[in-house]
Structure formats: structure tokens, C-alpha cells
Amino acid sequence: MAEVIVVINQKGGVGKTTTVANLSFGLANLGKRVLAIDLDPQSNLTAHLGCFNYEDISLEDLDSLSPPTIYEVLKGQKTLEEVICKVKNFDLVRSSLLLAAADLEFSGFVGRELLLSRSLQNVKDSYDIVIIDCPPNLGLLSLNALVASTDVIIPVQSEFLSLFGVRQLLDTIEQVRKIYNPNLKLRGVLVTMFDKRKKLSKAVLETIQNYFGELVFSTIIHENVTLAEAPSKGSCIFEYAPKSQGAEDYLQLCMELINAKENLLSA
């Protein structure tokens, strides 16, 4: 049965989508069967990795083109299997702007916190890893992701402002663990956008390491322009700049995740 990893932080711009995209590609390249789910109404992961080649679609077709998304799944109109598409070397479930009203639209649903968890049941055996990209808030969509997951990765930008709110997120994880998902665990805190030239970045890294201890990943994602450029080309970092610092960092993170899992299984 698949590990379900949610990449979450209620602060935007900390590298959640970049991490989901590159982890998905990297882990698949290492032989894992991977499903990525875009649960963010902003749909950045979907735009980055969308299933259609829009260069081959006319302007007239764009108006009528409405590929199925996770929105239809949560509404009960489609199964997860029906909306999965193949991208790169892994599978993707697209997001929709319609998810922006999820807190209101799904508020009357019975078991609304379990919508994603229930939809995942029939596909878990088809994958080794499911990775979920979350919106930058702790609303119903993020709650669904936490309830459905086995592991949590928290990306934290190496700036002091990015530390605000992490305590609230940890409290939310603990509440989800107590009420819905006792097996949920914090897989690790991932330091992103680290600039080794800046004293501030080093100071923030030290603060994070002192606070979280062994929960901080050994891998650090360095500030790297190619990580920002890759999405504009519809590419993951391993395709766009395979010899870059960004590719090296995310490969190291993939290996750290795999090795940690293997060590746990052999213990």
C-alpha cells in the first residue's frame, strides 16, 4: 500500500509545488510508482505538469476543454481512477479553480474531512508513493490532505517570516492525529531557498535545526534560478537542468526519503 505524503505549509512561496513536482519525477526515476495530486485551487502543479499539449489545441477548443479534476472527485461525480492522467514518468490528478470555494461548497457534506481519504482507497495499491500539493492555508482542503496521508513534509523557507505559523501547523497535525488519523507522522522539515552567502539564511537554518532537531532533513534545497525557470518550460528540474544545484538537491532528498523508509522497514 502506498505511502501518502502531504507537502504542506500555510505560508505561500516556500517551495511546496516545486518540491511536489521534483520529488514526483525524481522518485519515479528511481523506480517508484508515483501519483501526484494537486489540491491547490491555484493549480500551479497542474499548470506545471498539465496533461495536454496546449500548443496543439486551437483557441476555439480551449473554451470547451474541461478535463476532469480532483474537484469532480471530491463532489462524488467521478472516481479518482477516472481523472488520473499520465505526465512525465508519473501520474497526476489535476486541480481546479472551483476548489477555491471548497470550504463553503462542501461544508454541508457528511464526512467532509474524509472526502479525499475515501477516494484514495481504490488506488493505493497501484502506487508506491502518493504526494499531495496543498493550498497555502489550513482550510478544508488541507484538512482532507492531512486526514488522507501517512506522512507530512513541511517546507520552510530560510527566512524568519517563514517560521511564523509553523507552530499552528504542528498543532493542527496533532489535532488531526488525535481525531482522524492516529498514524499520521511528521516525516520532516525541509529547508528551502537556502542562500549560503547570506548570514540570515544560516541563522534561520540554525534556528530550525535547534527547534526541530532530527526532524530536519539533512538535504537542504539551495536557492537556484533553474528551479524557478523549469516550470515555465513545463519541465521538472531533472529535465530542464539535470546538472544544476537544484537537481542535485532534489535527487539527494529523494534518496534520503527512500533510504529512511528502507531503514525503517529493516529495523
Which of 67-71, 160-164, 210-214 shows the lowest mean pLDDT across its residues? 160-164
Convert the pLDDT of each residue in 174-208 to its tens digit: 999 999 999 999 999 999 999 888 888 898 899 99
CATH number at residue 158: 3.40.50.300
What is the pLDDT, as a whole number, of residue 96? 92
Residues of the chain with pLDDT > 70, as a percent, come to 91
Convert the pLDDT of each residue in 101-147 to its tens digit: 999 999 889 899 999 999 999 999 999 999 999 999 999 999 999 99
Over residues 3-21, the mean pLDDT reads 94
Convert the pLDDT of each residue in 55-85 to its tens digit: 444 545 444 456 899 999 999 999 999 999 9
For the chain, the domain total comes to: 1
Concatenate the DSSP letters of all residues of the chain into one string: --EEEEE--SSSSSSHHHHHHHHHHHHHHTT--EEEEE--TT-HHHHHH-SS-GGGS-HHHHHH-----HHHHHTTSS-HHHHEEEETTEEEE---GGGGGHHHHTTTSTTGGGHHHHHHTTTGGG-SEEEEE--SS-SHHHHHHHHH-SEEEEEEESSGGGGTTHHHHHHHHHHHHHHT-TT-EEEEEEEEEE-TT-HHHHHHHHHHHHHHGGGEEEEEEE--HHHHHGGGGT--HHHH-TTSHHHHHHHHHHHHHHHHHHHHHH-
What is the pLDDT, as a whole number, of residue 56? 45
Confidence bin at 169 (pLDDT 50/70/90): very high
What is the pLDDT, as a whole number, of residue 160? 78
* Domain span including residue 65: 3-266
